[in-house]
């Protein structure tokens, strides 16, 4: 194909990329090209079915990235799923729509990102949201569905609400009573999306409530707008790297792309290239283009264009485990109950735990720094860890997410400690853009991460020993008391947890928005340091993990990014 020119090229038509492309193409004099590796999944039932979570896994729309063997986390590699389709990971995710604790977003500013805080991001959560008011809305009438009107946006493209699977028969109230009866009661939280997450709640999802199908980035931000003649999308096309203008400052003039038919060509961007390929791809595209750690690049014969050694570092993910119990009644629907306990509700000795963790932070920071060859500095990591410590022990953010999913005669639970301290990385392992990368989240590298994951499991056991749930449930089927004894110590839980966890599929921070001196890859306008016209807009830029699921925050960041870009033009 012959080279053509666009104002903006967006690499990756996923969750973030389609938001940016949509908003930029509101400007009629601007031409936007989205280049997406996958195809359209508009009619794919593995996508649209609201009860089909997992059906798309390991199909051709799942990148199913493999990690390195997890040295501290059971030894085996893990699978990191990500959507390969127009809509990106929003087409295969669990559709949960929960945001963050206010103080967590404020921490983005504390770490040095002036102007990025809850107050400035909250309007963007709402801007993207098209909240669908539930028709049979009443906490007292059985379903448990409730919401706070002021916490939602009603005019945005992304449909958020409840599916008909949600409607149930009073289980929500029984679970609420059980949470209230626990040793450290978990309060009821009518709506976790207003910046205060701690408590027990029923979250909304990205669903089209009327049609009862999944809502995703393509359905929200692309299909209704695809007739715009300045919004272009190439499907089944892989971007290999950025191409550079000759000259002294580092300026991209486009990208190299391989089309479905195997031909490779370049496409020009007269203004900017926006990387939105996801946290496990965008940093690799920077490396393949010569932006990164010279030690990494030189191994594969790539000339360093910009020495930015923290590209691909700071990777943060969570670990997901589950416990299962028999149920005495049969459930045919799968409602969405979640509890977000804070540290004092999970650890009875929270003060002592906090003291010990605080004393360990310098050691943890040194461990992380040494594992990445001191590319991120121990003193900087220690500061980030102290911010994270303050969030847990002073701001009392949720330390765990506890999901309860009744199905048939079973109560399944899934849970994760929300803010692990481990920091891993993702790097190229070849100059060939189609080669698998080296992905190493370093799960369970630091003791506290296992301690928190263990304590959350004990919390779930306590929940099932508390009335009325204690009488509604039968015995624990996984792991079961014969496998992990009732009074098991941390060591006793360790092998169950490390042999049965999976990635929680929330990898972030691999091109972190932070000041350059402390290891940032992009500045507060999401521009890559040392490059005049390349931004990263996706999960890569989030400096810290959030307690909610990622998508709402990713949509909000992308909405804000679009405004930042527009304001510069
Ligand atoms: P995203 O992955 O959406 O987009 C990247 C796009 O770039 C993809 O379309 C990809 O194909 C494309 N691409 C990559 N390389 C390319 C290249 N070289 N050239 C061209 N295109 C390229 N969150 C939540 O809030 N609630 C939930 O319930 C869940 N559940 C969940 C389950 C599972 C299984 C996963 C994997 C993830 C979740 N998440 C979630 C997380 C959430 O869905 C996820 O973090 C975001 O969708 C990521 O958005 P991004 O824009 O960062 O990348």
- Residue 156's CATH number: 3.30.560.10
Ligand 1 centroid to Cα of residue 186, in Å, is 32
Residue 98 in contact with residue 192, Cβ under 8 Å?
yes
Q: Which atom of ligand 1 lies at the shortest distance from residue 97's CA?
A: 25
Q: Pick from 9, 10, 14, 57 the residue to mutate for probing ligand 1's pocket: most ligand atoms within 8 Å of its CB.
A: 14
Write down the pLDDT at residue 86. 98
Residue 184 lies inside a defined structural domain of this protein: yes
Rounded to the nearest whole angstrom, what is the distance from the C-alpha of residue 537 to the centroid of ligand 1? 12
Q: Kindly state the helix (H) or strand (E) to which residue 236 belongs, with its residue range.
A: none
Chunked into runs of 10 residues, the chain (569 residues) has average pLDDT values of 77 98 97 98 96 96 98 98 98 98 98 98 98 70 82 98 72 93 96 97 93 96 97 98 94 97 96 98 98 98 98 98 96 84 98 98 98 96 98 98 94 97 98 98 98 98 98 97 96 96 98 98 98 98 98 98 95
Which is it for strands 199-202 and 337-340: parallel, antiparallel or unpaired? antiparallel
Pick the atom of ligand 1 nearest to 550's CA: 25
Residues 173, 143: Cα–Cα separation, whole Å:
9
Q: What is the pLDDT of residue 3?
A: 46
Beta carbons of 82 and 62 less than 8 angstroms apart: yes
Which pair of tokens denotes residue 394? 């002073």
Q: What token pair was written down for 411?
A: 């109560």
CB 448 within 8 A of CB 343: no
Structural domains in the chain (count):
1
Give the pLDDT score at 247. 87
User: Does any domain span residue 441?
Assistant: yes
Which residues 6+ apart lie within 8 Å of 357 measured at CB?
A: 389, 393, 448
Write down the catalytic residue from 152, 232, 427, 506. 506
**Residue partners of 100: CB distance under 8 A and separation at least 6:** 118, 195, 197, 546, 547, 548, 553
Q: Which residue segment(s) compose the domain that 461 sits in?
A: 45-223+315-567
Instruction: Confirm whether 265 is domain-assigned.
Output: no
Look at residue 247 and tell me if it is in a domain. Answer: no
Q: What is the pLDDT of residue 144?
A: 79
Q: By the 8 A CB rule, do 255 and 34 touch?
A: no
List all residues 6 or more positions away from 518 whose beta carbon is below 8 Å from its beta carbon: 111, 112, 377, 380, 383
ipTM score for this prediction: 1.00
Residue at 18 is within a domain: no
Question: Is 506 designated active site?
Answer: yes
* Burial of residue 209 (number of CB atoms within 10 Å: 0-12, 13-18, 19+): buried
Active site residue 396: no
**Per the structure block, which two tokens stand in for 35?**
């280049």
Cβ distance 529 to 268 under 8 Å? no
- Of ligand 1's listed atoms, the one at least distance from the Cα of 84 is 11
pLDDT at 1: 35
Contact 272, 554 (CB under 8 A): no
Residue 253 lies in a domain: no
Alpha-carbon span 454 to 416, nearest angstrom: 9
Question: Which residues have any ligand 1 atom within 6 Å of their CB?
Answer: 11-17, 35-38, 81-84, 88-90, 92-96, 238-239, 276-279, 281, 505-506, 538-539, 549-552, 554
C-alpha triplet 251, 259, 242: angle, nearest 5° = 15
Residue entry with tokens 């666009």 = 6
293 within domain boundaries: no
Q: Considering the domain boundaries, does residue 209 fall inside one?
A: yes
**What whole-number distance in Å separates Cα of residue 287 and Cα of residue 246?**
19
């Amino acid at each position: 194909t012959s080279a053509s020119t666009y104002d903006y090229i967006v690499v990756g038509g996923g969750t973030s990329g389609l938001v940016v492309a949509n908003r930029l193409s509101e400007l009629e004099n601007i031409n936007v090209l989205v280049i997406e590796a996958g195809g359209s999944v508009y009619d794919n039932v593995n996508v649209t079915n609201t009860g089909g979570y997992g059906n798309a896994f390991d199909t051709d729309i799942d990148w199913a990235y493999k990690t390195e063997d997890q040295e501290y986390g059971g030894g085996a590699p893990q699978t990191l799923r990500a959507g390969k389709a127009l809509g990106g990971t929003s087409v295969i995710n669990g559709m949960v729509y929960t945001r963050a604790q206010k103080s967590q977003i404020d921490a983005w500013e504390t770490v040095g990102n002036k102007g990025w805080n809850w107050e400035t991001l909250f309007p963007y959560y709402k801007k993207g949201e098209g909240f669908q008011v539930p028709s049979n809305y009443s906490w007292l009438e059985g379903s448990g569905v409730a919401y706070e009107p002021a916490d939602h946006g009603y005019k945005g493209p992304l449909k958020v609400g409840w599916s008909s699977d949600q409607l149930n028969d009073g289980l929500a109230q029984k679970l609420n009573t059980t949470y209230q009866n626990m040793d450290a009661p978990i309060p009821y939280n009518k709506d976790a999306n207003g910046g205060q997450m701690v408590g027990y709640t029923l979250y909304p999802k990205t669903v089209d409530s009327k049609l009862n199908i999944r809502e995703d980035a393509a359905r929200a931000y692309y299909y209704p707008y695809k007739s715009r003649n300045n919004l272009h999308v190439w499907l089944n096309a892989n971007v290999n790297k950025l191409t550079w203008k000759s000259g002294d400052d580092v300026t991209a003039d486009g990208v190299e792309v391989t089309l479905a038919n195997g031909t490779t060509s370049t496409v020009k961007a007269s203004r900017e290239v926006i990387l939105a390929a996801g946290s496990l791809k965008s940093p690799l595209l920077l490396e393949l283009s010569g932006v990164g750690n010279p030690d990494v690049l030189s191994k594969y014969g790539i000339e360093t264009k910009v020495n930015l050694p923290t590209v691909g570092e700071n990777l943060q993910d969570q670990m997901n485990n589950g416990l299962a119990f028999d149920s005495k009644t049969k459930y045919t629907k799968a409602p969405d109950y979640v509890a977000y306990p804070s540290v004092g509700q999970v650890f009875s000795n929270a003060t002592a735990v906090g003291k010990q963790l605080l004393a360990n932070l310098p050691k943890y920071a040194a461990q992380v720094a040494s594992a990445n060859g001191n590319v991120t500095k121990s003193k900087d990591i220690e500061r980030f860890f102290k911010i994270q410590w303050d969030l847990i022990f002073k701001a009392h953010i949720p330390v765990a997410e506890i999901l309860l999913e009744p199905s048939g005669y079973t109560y399944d639970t899934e849970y994760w400690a929300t803010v692990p301290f481990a920091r891993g990385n993702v790097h190229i392992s070849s100059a060939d853009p189609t080669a698998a990368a080296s992905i190493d989240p370093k799960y369970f590298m630091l003791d506290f991460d296992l301690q928190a994951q263990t304590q959350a499991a004990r919390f779930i056991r306590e929940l099932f020993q508390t009335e009325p749930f204690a009488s509604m449930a039968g015995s624990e089927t996984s792991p079961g008391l014969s496998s992990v004894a009732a009074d098991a110590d941390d060591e006793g839980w360790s092998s169950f947890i490390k042999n049965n966890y999976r990635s929680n599929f929330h990898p972030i921070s691999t091109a972190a928005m932070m000041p350059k001196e402390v290891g940032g890859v992009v500045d507060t306008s999401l521009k890559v340091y040392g490059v005049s016209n390349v931004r990263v807009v996706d999960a890569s830029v989030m400096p810290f993990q959030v307690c909610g699921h990622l998508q709402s925050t990713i949509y909000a960041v992308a909405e804000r990014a679009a405004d930042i870009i527009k304001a510069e033009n």
